[in-house]
Structure 1
Amino acid sequence: MRISEIATVLAWHDALNDSDIETLLALSSDDIELGGSEGAAQGLTALQEWAGSAAPTLVPGRMFMHDGVVVVEEQATWASKPGESRTVGTSFRVVHDQVTAVFRHDTLEAALEATDLSDKDLVTDI
């Protein structure tokens, strides 16, 4: 297991949750791809706008990893949707210690299926 992918994804979560946009952007590639049930976007400007407008808090739980892809089970809340909290699955692609893609799925199972990861890819030694 490469610990740098996990460290990058955890640092990305910390920056997002702390509203540290400068660090969030530094941890992301210039052409980062973003996707979810509400659409898709690309680039640092799109990431900055999403982080500012949706103001999500994503608390990471179980993590799965294989070949630069990290899937995280998250407890998600949004400032734009007070009182709503859901468990979601988000897939990350990490290349050279930068997040190059983030795709949110409605469930962990959907994220695992989309990335061909499974229980055998569960990270147990972080």
Structure 2
Amino acid sequence: MSTTAYATALAWQEALTSGDIDTLLELSGDGIEIAGDHGGGQGLAVLNAWASESRTTMTPQRVYERGDLVVTESVASGSATPGQATDSRSVAVVFQISGDQVGSVFVHPDLASAFAATGLGDGDFVED
């Protein structure tokens, strides 16, 4: 059964937020790329280690979608590095979806930079 890119990205964020590592890994492609302002990595082992250790949560506020690209404007909480103090901030998360799996996740500091990287814009807003 195929799902929309939108649903896949939201399910991925929900699995991360709830600490459901098994579902997070199932929703991710084997070569998933993860990048943000604190570096990045590739592969399920990297995702597993990061999600297990950082205790990051992402709560989507607004979602934009075009084809296999999804941008969520989200409130991220947690620590980018295990052991660091927890903080909360607004970020824009770019998801590249392939089939029913997330192929890449890139965290941008704001919506404008995510739009610049993807070509998406206000016209791609998804109404609930």
| TM superposition score normalised by structure 2 | 0.90
- 1:83-125 residue CA offsets vs partner (Å, 9 max, x unmatched): x21000000001111000000011111111111111111111x
Aligned partner of 1:39: which letter? G
After superposition, the CA RMSD in angstroms is 1.4
Matched, 1:116 2:114: no
Structure 1 equivalent of residue 67 of structure 2: 67
The Cα shift of 1:81 comes to: 2.6
- What is the distance in 1 between the residues matched to 2:25 and 2:37? 22
Identity %: 41
- 1:54-77 residue CA offsets vs partner (Å, 9 max, x unmatched): 211100111111120000000011
- What is the distance in 1 between the residues matched to 2:3 and 2:119? 20
Runs ≥4 residues deviating over 6 A: none
The Cα shift of 1:14 comes to: 1.2
Structure 2 equivalent of residue 86 of structure 1: 89
The Cα shift of 1:3 comes to: 5.9
Structure 1 equivalent of residue 51 of structure 2: 51
Q: Any gaps of 5 or more consecutive residues in structure 2?
A: none
Paired residues in the alignment total 123
Q: Any gaps of 5 or more consecutive residues in structure 1?
A: none
Other structure's SS at 1:104 match: strand
Structure 1 equivalent of residue 11 of structure 2: 11
Other structure's SS at 1:81 match: coil
Aligned partner of 2:56: which letter? P
- What is the distance in 2 between the residues matched to 1:93 and 1:76? 19
